[in-house]
Amino acid sequence: QSVLTQPPSVSGAPGQRVTISCTGSSSNIGANFDVHWYQQLPGTAPKLLIYVNTNRPSGVPDRFSGSKSGTSASLAITGLQAEDEADYYCQSYDSSLSGSGVVFGGGTKLTVL
Amino acid sequence: QVQLQESGPGLVKPSETLSLTCSVSGVSINSYYWSWIRQPPGKGLEWIGCVYFSGSTNYSPSLKSRVTISIDTSRKQVSLRLNSVTAADTAVYFCASTTFRGGKPERFDYWGQGTLVTVSS
């Protein structure tokens, strides 16, 4: 069971908009720790997609955007393309009585119909 | 550009120690912290821990008792040792550059391709 909760799968047709949610708690996202998103294409290593909630690294298309509010964050992808089919992971930091460290969501598989 | 290359045995016996090395190129090893992250087959990502060029380390609370991460700045290598392994430690192991902020690991900017380690007798 991941500390951050993501839907196992989402899907959309080419050109559509999809969103992926990432739900945390008061010990991570709600504690004002930032959220980052990674894209993992099949058979490859994850790639940083969004950092510090809303920022895109150089080379990431502006079709990808991130937001954060309260204990949750979201990744939005507009103008869906076949090449966007991948697994997406959110990541933050968690600090609780049982310890502190980096935490990931369980991942969301995006299928482009 | 930053390049990370993991290497080490692909098969480890139960109860033994898993040892991997990450070779860093294209950037000063002093520029980042360096993390190990793993991914069991078909599952999600798990952060193991990280090291700075000074030797300072941070570990995941769930793995802390079995993990040692070290750095050799002269060789530009980061090493992972995980002892007393079981089948549950079978995973692809990635090394990744780690941006720190506020004294905490924040995000992973660059990743190696990963190496699969299977724990089996």
Q: pLDDT per residue over A36-93, tens digit each? A: 999 999 999 999 999 999 999 999 999 999 999 999 999 999 999 999 999 999 999 9
Q: How confident is the model at residue A113 (pLDDT cuts 50, 70, 90)?
A: very high
Cα–Cα distances (Å) from A29 to A40, A48, B8, in that order, read 22, 18, 35
| Cβ pair B105, B33 in contact under 8 A | yes
pLDDT score of A87: 98
pLDDT score of A1: 83
Please list every residue in chain B whose beta carbon sits closer than 8 Å to the beta carbon of residue A50.
Answer: none
pLDDT score of B47: 98
Q: Which of A50, A55, A102, A103 to mutate to test the interface with B (most CBs of B within 10 A)?
A: A102
Q: What is the mean pLDDT of residues A93-111?
A: 95
Q: What is the mean pLDDT of residues A89-99?
A: 93
A102 with B113: Cβ contact below 8 A:
no
Please list every residue in chain B whose beta carbon sits closer than 8 Å to the beta carbon of residue A107.
Answer: 44-45
In angstroms, the CA B14 to CA B3 distance is 31
Q: Which of B34, B108, B109, B110 to mutate to test the interface with A (most CBs of A within 10 A)?
A: B108
| Cβ pair B59, B69 in contact under 8 A | yes
pLDDT score of A99: 87
Q: Which residues of B touch A (CB under 8 A)?
A: 35, 44-47, 58-62, 64, 94, 104-114
Please list every residue in chain A whose beta carbon sits closer than 8 Å to the beta carbon of residue B104.
Answer: 33, 93, 100
pLDDT score of B102: 87
Q: What is the mean pLDDT of residues A98-110?
A: 95
Q: Are strands B18-25 and B3-7 parallel, antiparallel or unpaired?
A: antiparallel
Summarize pLDDT for B61-82 with one digit per residue, the tens: 999 999 999 999 999 999 999 9
Q: What is the mean pLDDT of residues A12-32?
A: 97
The residue type found at A89 is: Y
pLDDT score of A30: 97
Segments of chain B scoring below 50 in pLDDT: none
Distance (Å) from the alpha carbon of B3 to chain A's nearest alpha carbon: 12
Distance (Å) from the alpha carbon of B34 to chain A's nearest alpha carbon: 13
Owner of token pair 């799968």: A9
Q: Above 90 in pLDDT, residue A12?
A: yes
Please list every residue in chain B whose beta carbon sits closer than 8 Å to the beta carbon of residue A100.
Answer: 61, 104
Owner of token pair 């990431």: A60
Residue in A44, A48, A104 closest to B45 by CB: A104
Owner of token pair 């991941």: A2
* C-alpha dihedral, B51 to B52 to B57 to B62, nearest 10°: -40
In angstroms, the CA A23 to CA A35 distance is 11
Q: How confident is the model at residue A98 (pLDDT cuts 50, 70, 90)?
A: confident
**Angle value at C-alpha B70, between A95 and B101, nearest 5 degrees:** 35
Exposed/middle/buried for A97, CB within 10 Å: 0-12, 13-18, 19+? exposed
Residue B41 has φ and ψ, to the nearest 5°, of: -50, 125
